[in-house]
């Protein structure tokens, strides 16, 4: 089904927020707003260990997204999750095993939600991050992200803070070392290529990367203050369910997606 046209004017507002059917869109920048208005592609990152992404919410999101955007892709950060497991001091073999198990559960949830939304099966649209790790463009963008995060900057601090939050959500009350926090931050870094230039990775004309909660590391990339600059065709936005009978799902565990 073709997307419902949304003009740039419709995306303008006092709080840069547009309510569209079941969801609100809050673009990060003016350029993000223009990319949203094009409605060509939405990238949905679904993180393991995040109970916010229930089958019901995903089904509602997928149904809405296919009305609003011409194409939708889902990415599950499987290889990135390994960094979190290693930061939690799991032995390498166990870290990979736990990550694989978690991501398999999330993948199954995505497939169920896609079907529940009334959409035809589209395995070519359901990705794991490991599907991209050998692709030259992703590798180039990842190296740029790794280089940028080694430099002292608000982007680096935002990535480290996200790492602290995610680790604390998985092991509350634990005091993490600087080394663990650095290792955990690699989870965020592995996702940065999709914040910088999803169109060149997936071969789409423009793309909006979807997040359900504010993220400082996205703000820093969008502002180009930390050594990374988004492609002109790259947008990022907060996309959250509009209140239904006063009931809006709330994230219960920290996540970078």
Task: Please report which confidence band the pLDDT of residue 166 belongs to, taking 50, 70 and 90 as the band edges.
Answer: confident
DSSP reduced 3-state for 247: strand
- pLDDT exceeds cutoff 90 at 176: no
Tokens, residue 173 = 């009350």
Dihedral sign of CA atoms 196, 10, 114, 53 in order: positive
Helix, strand, coil tally for the chain in percent (to 5) = 50, 15, 35
Q: In a 10 Å sphere around its CB, with 0-12 CB exposed, 13-18 middle and 19+ buried, how is residue 123 labelled?
A: exposed
Q: In a 10 Å sphere around its CB, with 0-12 CB exposed, 13-18 middle and 19+ buried, how is residue 126 labelled?
A: middle
**pLDDT at site 86:** 63
- Paired with 45 in beta bridges are 75
pTM equals 0.83
Cβ 86 vs Cβ 56: under 8 Å: no
**pLDDT at site 197:** 98
Which of 146, 11, 156, 170 has the alpha carbon at shortest distance from 86?
170
Which of 1, 127, 147 has the alpha carbon at shortest distance from 69?
1
Q: 55-68 pLDDT, tens per residue? A: 999 999 999 999 99
The architecture in CATH of the region 8-241 reads 3-Layer(aba) Sandwich (3.40)
Cβ 231 vs Cβ 223: under 8 Å: no
**pLDDT at site 252:** 37
Instruction: Enumerate helices (H) and strands (E) in the chain, giving the number of each.
Output: 11, 7
Question: CA-to-CA distance for 85 and 88, rounded, in angstroms?
Answer: 5
Cβ 149 vs Cβ 97: under 8 Å: no
- pLDDT exceeds cutoff 70 at 3: no
- pLDDT exceeds cutoff 60 at 237: yes
- The sheet carrying 72-76 orders its strands as 18-20, 23-27, 234-241, 207-211, 42-45, 72-76, 126-128
Average pLDDT in the chain: 83
**pLDDT at site 256:** 42
- pLDDT exceeds cutoff 80 at 132: yes
Task: Please report which confidence band the pLDDT of residue 174 belongs to, taking 50, 70 and 90 as the band edges.
Answer: confident
Cβ 209 vs Cβ 32: under 8 Å: no
Of the candidate ranges 25-34, 155-164, 236-245, the one whose mean pLDDT is the lowest: 236-245
**pLDDT at site 250:** 42
**pLDDT at site 251:** 39
């Amino acid at each position: 089904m073709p997307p419902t046209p949304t003009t740039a004017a419709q995306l303008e507002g006092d709080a840069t927020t547009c309510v569209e059917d079941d969801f609100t869109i809050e673009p990060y920048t003016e350029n993000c707003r223009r990319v949203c208005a094009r409605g060509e592609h939405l990238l949905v990152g679904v993180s393991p260990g995040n109970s916010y992404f229930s089958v019901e919410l995903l089904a509602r999101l997928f149904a809405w997204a296919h009305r609003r955007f011409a194409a939708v892709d889902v990415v599950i950060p499987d290889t990135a999750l390994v960094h979190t497991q290693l930061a939690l001091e799991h032995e390498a073999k166990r870290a990979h095993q736990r990550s694989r198990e978690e991501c398999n559960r999330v993948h199954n949830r995505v497939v169920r939600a896609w079907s529940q939304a009334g959409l035809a099966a589209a395995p070519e649209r359901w990705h794991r991050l490991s599907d991209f790790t050998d692709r030259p463009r992703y590798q180039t963008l990842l190296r740029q992200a790794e280089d940028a995060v080694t430099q002292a900057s608000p982007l680096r601090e935002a990535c480290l803070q996200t790492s602290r939050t995610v680790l604390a959500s998985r092991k509350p009350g634990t005091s993490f070392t600087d080394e663990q926090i650095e290792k955990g931050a690699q989870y965020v870094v592995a996702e940065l290529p999709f914040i910088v230039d999803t169109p060149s990775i997936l071969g789409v004309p423009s793309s909006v990367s979807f997040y359900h909660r504010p993220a400082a590391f996205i703000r820093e990339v969008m502002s180009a203050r930390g050594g990374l600059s988004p492609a002109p065709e790259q947008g990022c936005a907060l996309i959250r369910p509009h209140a239904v009978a006063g009931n809006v799902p709330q994230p219960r565990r920290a996540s970078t997606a």
